[in-house]
């Protein structure tokens, strides 16, 4: 099958940027800085991401990222107008000014977020209160041995019924704690409101809903260790692997990840080298029953930038040998419907920048699952609030996606 080009070819031959400081580098810059480049297009954002910097978010063409001064200067050498807007370490101290006595608690003022232990208690209580429609298990263990919780919600929860299945995953990236709260919102809503809310009841009766609230519990716990935020993204295996660059489809293919262990987008030494991605993938593989994948739709929640993204991330093409034009159109139509419900911006993942080894690309290419990513609140981050919004934002920003979750659950019953 031929490919439909998107007309974006500038990134095709991009080289990774050197990290040596060229002549004329600003001598006063030291330590990790927070930088912005305004008015970027996809090719420029890919150039920046390929430099090995830590991309935080994008809004209205402005890309925000953390980088060493040498990386920022190298980008300036490529003709990009890179503006320093803050110091990462100073911002981390400002965002978590007090040290909590307990090592595993969120900073003071953010107690509304759930630690791994608190999350476990909430899931166990949901099953205790709603055992007729909810069951708790695990898809496997993290690198440090934490259970990767899986909760199933369905009217006959102990049976494997012939119903469309939908999977929600959260917290692949450690510092994106709001996403764990999003998965908890789904669990609590579809258990507590069953029998009283007609829409919830109908969907639970006609679907099998699976939720993994944290794919990266080790990283999430490390990120808040000592009651201070660290801005940690990866898992805790050796120097850390970016879980959303470790999936097996087009792993490391296209400059959308890094082979350097020190990089925030380090893809790992091989596809599925991280126990967390292996565990989730094995669960998805196990839902092939009688030769047919039972999971028909999936959302992977991230933060931030308020985006709805769909495959592919590794190529600018709309369609290719693994996605027909009709299938690409369906992704776009569903993505636009989801975005219309919550005010996010819909776009193909590569319109943001090129990524490879991502969960959405693998879900679709390997299993034909309608798999999308939500980048949650805020649209643009001021300092660290992009990753660490105050806990009073949890309720409105998770409820904001109620309708989108319903739309996807409904779409799961439709054939492409």
Query: Cα dist. 356→76, 182, 257, 276, 300 in Å?
Result: 25, 25, 6, 17, 15
Write phi, then psi, for 328 (nearest 5 degrees).
-65, -40
d(CA 148, CA 138): 5
Tokens of 221: 């716990």
Asked if 68 is an active-site residue, the reply is no
Q: Residues 82-104, buried b or exposed e (16+ Cβ, 10 A)?
A: beeebbbeebbeebbeeebeeee
Provide the angle, in degrees to the nearest 10, between the axes of the packed helices 275-286 and 359-367: 30
Tokens of 389: 């919004």
d(CA 369, CA 279): 17
Q: Are 69 and 30 in contact (CB under 8 A)?
A: yes
d(CA 27, CA 330): 51
For residue 305, the 8-state DSSP code is S
Distance between start and end Cα atoms, the chain:
18
Q: Say what the alpha-carbon torsion angle 386, 66, 142, 154 is, to the nearest 10 degrees.
A: 30
Q: Are 250 and 122 in contact (CB under 8 A)?
A: no
User: Among the options 375, 392, 395, 403, which is catalytic?
Assistant: 375
Tokens of 321: 């040998």
d(CA 116, CA 174): 12
- Number of Cβ within 10 Å of residue 264's Cβ equals 23
Provide the angle, in degrees to the nearest 10, between the axes of the packed helices 402-411 and 177-192: 70
Tokens of 51: 């430099």
d(CA 152, CA 158): 9
- Our measurement of the distance from residue 89's CA atom to the centroid of its chain's CA atoms, rounded to an integer in Å, reads 23
- Beta-strand ranges (E) seen in 294-389 are 295-303, 307-310, 345-348, 370-376
Q: Which of the residues are catalytic?
A: 375
């Amino acid at each position: 099958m031929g490919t439909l080009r998107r007309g974006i070819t500038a990134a095709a031959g991009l080289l990774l940027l050197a990290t040596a400081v060229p002549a004329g580098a600003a001598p006063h810059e030291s330590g990790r800085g927070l930088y912005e480049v305004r008015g970027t297009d996809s090719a420029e954002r890919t150039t920046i991401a390929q430099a090995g910097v830590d991309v935080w978010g994008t809004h209205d063409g402005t890309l925000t990222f953390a980088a060493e001064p040498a990386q920022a200067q190298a980008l300036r050498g490529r003709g990009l107008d890179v503006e320093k807007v803050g110091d990462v370490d100073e911002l981390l101290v400002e965002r978590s000014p007090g040290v909590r006595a307990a090592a595993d608690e969120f900073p003071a003022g953010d107690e509304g977020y759930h630690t791994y232990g608190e999350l476990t208690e909430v899931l166990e209580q949901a099953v205790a209160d709603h055992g007729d429609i909810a069951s708790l298990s695990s898809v496997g263990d993290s690198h440090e041995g934490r259970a990767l919780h899986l909760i199933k919600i369905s009217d006959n929860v102990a049976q494997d019924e012939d119903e469309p299945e939908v999977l929600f995953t959260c917290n692949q990236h450690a510092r994106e704690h709001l996403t764990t709260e999003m998965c908890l919102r789904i669990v609590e809503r579809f258990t507590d409101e069953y029998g009283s809310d007609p829409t919830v009841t109908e969907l639970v009766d006609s679907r099998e809903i699976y939720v993994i609230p944290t794919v990266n519990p080790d990283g999430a716990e490390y990120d808040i260790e000592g009651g201070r935020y660290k801005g940690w993204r990866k898992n805790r295996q050796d120097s850390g692997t970016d879980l959303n660059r470790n999936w097996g489809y087009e792993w490391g293919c296209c400059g959308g990840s890094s082979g350097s262990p020190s990089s925030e987008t380090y893809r790992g030494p091989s596809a599925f080298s991280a126990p967390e991605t292996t565990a989730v993938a094995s669960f998805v593989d196990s839902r092939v029953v009688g030769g047919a994948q039972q999971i028909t739709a999936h959302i992977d929640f991230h933060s931030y930038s308020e985006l709805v993204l769909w495959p592919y991330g590794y190529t600018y093409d709309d369609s290719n040998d693994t996605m027909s034009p009709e299938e690409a159109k369906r992704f776009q139509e569903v993505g636009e419907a989801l975005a219309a419900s919550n005010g996010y911006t819909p776009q193909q993942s590569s319109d943001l920048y090129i990524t490879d080894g991502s969960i959405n690309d693998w879900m679709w290419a390997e299993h034909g699952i309608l798999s999308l990513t939500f980048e949650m609140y805020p649209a643009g981050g001021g300092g660290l609030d992009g990753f660490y919004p105050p806990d009073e934002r949890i309720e409105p920003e998770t409820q904001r996606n109620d309708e989108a979750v319903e739309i996807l659950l409904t779409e799961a019953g439709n054939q492409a």
